[in-house]
Structure 1
Amino acid sequence: MGVKTMLPSYELGFYALAVTCAVVYSGSGIFEASRDSMNRKAFREGIKPGWHYFGRKMDMADFEWVMWFTSFRNAIIFALSGHVLFGKICSMTVPQHRAVVYMLYGVLAVLGSMGLVYLMIILSHCLVLYSVALAKQKWLCYVAGLCCLASFKVEPFSSWQGGFVTGAFDLQDVLFYGGSCFTIMRCMSFALESSERKEGVYSIFDLLKYNFYLPFFFFGPVMTFDQFHAQVSTQELRRKDDELKNIRVHALLHVGAIIAVDIFFHFFYILTLPSDLKFTNRLSDWSLAGLAYCNLVYDWVKAAVMFGVTNTIARLDHLDPPQPPKCITMLYVFAETHFDRGINDWLCKYVYDHLGENHDNIMKELVATIATFAITTLWLGPCEIVYIWSVLNCFGLNFELWVQKFFQLEPFAKLEVRSWAASRWGKVSGSGTKFWCWKMSMTVGSSNLYKKSQIYFQLRPDEQPDVAPCPGLLHGDLKLLPVAFSILVISYLAVQGRHSLGALYPFILCTVSPTQSKFPSALGCFVGSLGWVWSFQRENGGPRERGMHQNTTDGHKI
């Protein structure tokens, strides 16, 4: 549903200018605040000496980033380089057995890094879910898989299993829960695919080859078993034209992103500043807006680099891994609010599409989204913030379908075809509710600005960092409601007739004001909402009708 057309170049240019000015102006405030707080006592734990070339301290508050690219950088490079080397030798000599080599190397890497006890825990869960797969009953696979996943997410079972792994190093908890939880998702995929197989089931050897593929083992992404098995079993290994060139380009981009982030942290202390409420209370509205936006973008960059590195290695192994996460400034509907596309594809294939079918029936869609977000809540780790986030996103996804159904009624459908501009005004009325639902869900998520370890790295609930939210994230939102809604109308008219949420992030950022409804906040909403429209994907050509679901897996993400 929806009519799309190309926006005029001068309009796009105006949006580009507006967003550039807004980012530069807010960034200047963050830079000044970072410079003035470099030697602040409250920030000693997060701000430490950086590169000698810059003569400045560096924001090192994110322990995952520091461990990946500083403390354990050499070990990670060594392990992944060994995988690439042995995999390449095997692909050139005995390509039919390359999956076995991947499995053996992965088992040895897990054994060397985490120990024999951890390996036994992983193998025991694999054996349990393989035994369940022999029954070829889908409901039993779901029950057993979710129970295994809950054993790593719910106390006291989580601590009980973690207690078997002795020794301690900084990355141990991240590797333990990351590898364990991704193992359960892979085993569930294997069990469900085996249940659908008409002739027998796959062997446990196939499961081990699938699970112990090292690049995906600890941090993902998740490839469904059917895709992995088909690709890794191919004996004729051929590359497309310029594929190696693209791999090299992406590898250089990831290295460049790592260096750029480290340089950025020398001048902008976006991770440490939110930890001191007294200090953030003195920041301007524009600085708070930029601070929140930088933290959101940094989360995306971190996920993009993490998945990008593993995806690059998978492409060297002649696999087609899930795409990297979509930039947050490109998200404008609830159907695409996902970081990990591997988990998203898994949920769509085995839960959302399975229950929702063609997603035309409102009741089936409601059941599908509730089930999907219930599993997502378990995957992220049950806690109050995740509950609120799941409920709001579940409602928003259903609300999109309700509005689509409403505007497919004959009077509105004819109005959209006859008058594109008039149809925009009608859709604005429904977008307000959806916008505030998304705004509140992201506001809750922003209360932990620079630590989303539970979401991305599966840490236990009791290990979550104690980080206070930015002041004013909720304070004053109701007073800004009339102003923000009117600005939403203006921004929505710029979004080429889609049922869209393009102005989401600017609204979130520019309403984080401890001084409630100051004029700069409202002005920031306006400038930001116009600017972010510029980043949307648009299609050339004249107006046309768009089907509600072009592709269920790719067109309607969770």
Structure 2
Amino acid sequence: MLPRWELSFYLLASLGFHLYSFYEVYKASREHEEELDRQFALEIGTLFGGLKKDPTDFEWSFWMEWGKQRLLRFLFGHVAVSQLASVLARKHRPWILGAYGIWASWCVLGAHGTAIIFLHTLISFCVAQFRSLVLTWLCSLLLLSTLRLQDVEEVKRGWYQTENEYYLLQFTLTVRCLYYTSFSLELCWQEVPCGSSFYSFPWLVAYVFYYPVFHNGPILSFPEFIAKMQQQEYCSLKSNLSAFAVGLGRLLCYWWLAELMVHLMYMHAIYSSASLLRAVSCWTL
């Protein structure tokens, strides 16, 4: 563990670099707004007093579109199922939430998408039984590399009607790789024989298909997931609702901040303009 003063120094340095870089991008966006508007037809927003929005930010537009279509409904469904499971079947809550996650994945990604996630999870679990860190990392890297194999990409594209559905599967597979890797590493670090019942395939499936973090995170390590499942078993409805309200408020704040950044800093539009890439400062880049 690094000393507190060193951690504080790195934190301040990182914040300073990021804030100054954001300022440079903001300044370049304002200076070249007319040129960017001609090239990319900046969208006029309604949230921030008529500020124009960068329409070339693919990832933000992608998640906003998916959130409006299906993901938000399934997230609220998870909350409802979690509360019902806590009241009616508290001991079986992890399995109920895991089953809900599999069903939600089936609805959003289809049978093929859910099956390939399950297959990756099964392969990782089998390799983890050797309790070798090297094999675990090699397995995860090999599974991750299949996302860029052209033949595999063509097969997965054939499962869906739109590119957005294919990219959602790619995002999900990438994030799921971090989750089954976390489980496998924790299993490797356990003493032999492992007396804990948590390091079993059903727990891994419940962990991988935990829906609030299913498609794009945030990252939740396996020990944190176990602690969350155990802790919430004894929480009252009032405390759960309070936690939900706090989480929802935090999510809305993050959404508002991200929307503001898209309106103030035209990062992706600048990246897409060859002339501006030569004109802006190194800090902006």
- Normalising by structure 1, we get a TM-score of 0.41
Q: 1:21 to 1:56 in 2, by over 3 A?
A: closer
Cross-structure match for 1:517:
none
| DSSP-derived class of the 2:126 partner | helix
1:37 corresponds to 2:30: no
Cross-structure match for 2:81:
86
Counterparts of 1:64-75 in structure 2, within 5 Å, are: 64-70=59-65, 72-75=67-70
What is the alpha-carbon distance in structure 1 between the residues aligned to residue 4 and residue 90 of structure 2?
49
Q: Which runs of 5+ in 2 are unaligned?
A: 7-15
What is the alpha-carbon distance in structure 2 between the residues aligned to residue 146 and residue 22 of structure 1?
32
| DSSP-derived class of the 2:32 partner | helix
Aligned partner of 1:33: which letter? H
What is the alpha-carbon distance in structure 1 between the residues aligned to residue 35 and residue 43 of structure 2?
12
Cross-structure match for 1:122:
117
**Identity across aligned pairs (percent)?**
22
Cross-structure match for 1:181:
174
| DSSP-derived class of the 2:216 partner | coil
What is the alpha-carbon distance in structure 1 between the residues aligned to residue 91 and residue 135 of structure 2?
33
Superposition deviation, residue 184 in structure 1: 3.0
Aligned partner of 2:87: which letter? M
Superposition deviation, residue 105 in structure 1: 0.9
Cross-structure match for 1:148:
143
1:237 corresponds to 2:234: yes
CA contact (8 A) 1:103 1:208 kept: yes
CA contact (8 A) 2:160 2:166 kept: no
Cross-structure match for 1:218:
215
Aligned partner of 1:188: which letter? T
The count of corresponding residues between Structure 1 and Structure 2 is 269
Cross-structure match for 1:538:
none
Q: 1:161 to 1:24 in 2, by over 3 A?
A: closer
What is the alpha-carbon distance in structure 1 between the residues aligned to residue 27 and residue 140 of structure 2?
49
Q: 1:182 to 1:43 in 2, by over 3 A?
A: closer
Residue deviations 1:56-102 (CA, integer Å, cap 9, x gap): 64211112211322464242211111111111121233221111121
> Which aligned segments of 4 or more residues in structure 1 are displaced greater than 6 angstroms?
19-26, 241-244
Q: 1:60 to 1:238 in 2, by over 3 A?
A: same
Counterparts of 1:299-318 in structure 2, within 5 Å, are: none
Cross-structure match for 1:272:
269
Residue deviations 1:7-64 (CA, integer Å, cap 9, x gap): xxxxxxxxx9xx9999879845632431x23641x223xx234339855642111122
Cross-structure match for 1:97:
92
1:50 corresponds to 2:45: yes
Q: Which has the higher contact order (CA 8 A, sep 6+)?
A: 2
| DSSP-derived class of the 1:152 partner | helix
Determine which structure has the larger helix proportion and give its number. Answer: 2
CA contact (8 A) 2:26 2:264 kept: no
Q: 1:281 to 1:206 in 2, by over 3 A?
A: closer
Q: Which runs of 5+ in 1 are unaligned?
A: 6-15, 283-287, 290-472, 474-508, 513-558
Cross-structure match for 1:295:
none
Residue deviations 1:278-310 (CA, integer Å, cap 9, x gap): 24555xxxxx45xxxxxxxxxxxxxxxxxxxxx
What is the alpha-carbon distance in structure 1 between the residues aligned to residue 106 and residue 194 of structure 2?
34
Larger Rg: 1
Q: 1:87 to 1:29 in 2, by over 3 A?
A: same
Counterparts of 1:254-333 in structure 2, within 5 Å, are: 254-263=251-260, 265-266=262-263, 268-279=265-276, 281=278, 288-289=280-281
What is the alpha-carbon distance in structure 2 between the residues aligned to residue 258 and residue 237 of structure 1?
31
What is the alpha-carbon distance in structure 1 between the residues aligned to residue 23 and residue 125 of structure 2?
54
| DSSP-derived class of the 1:171 partner | helix
Counterparts of 1:464-475 in structure 2, within 5 Å, are: 473=282
Superposition deviation, residue 111 in structure 1: 0.5
Cross-structure match for 2:54:
59
CA contact (8 A) 1:49 1:58 kept: yes
Q: 1:97 to 1:25 in 2, by over 3 A?
A: closer
CA contact (8 A) 2:105 2:114 kept: yes
Cross-structure match for 2:10:
none
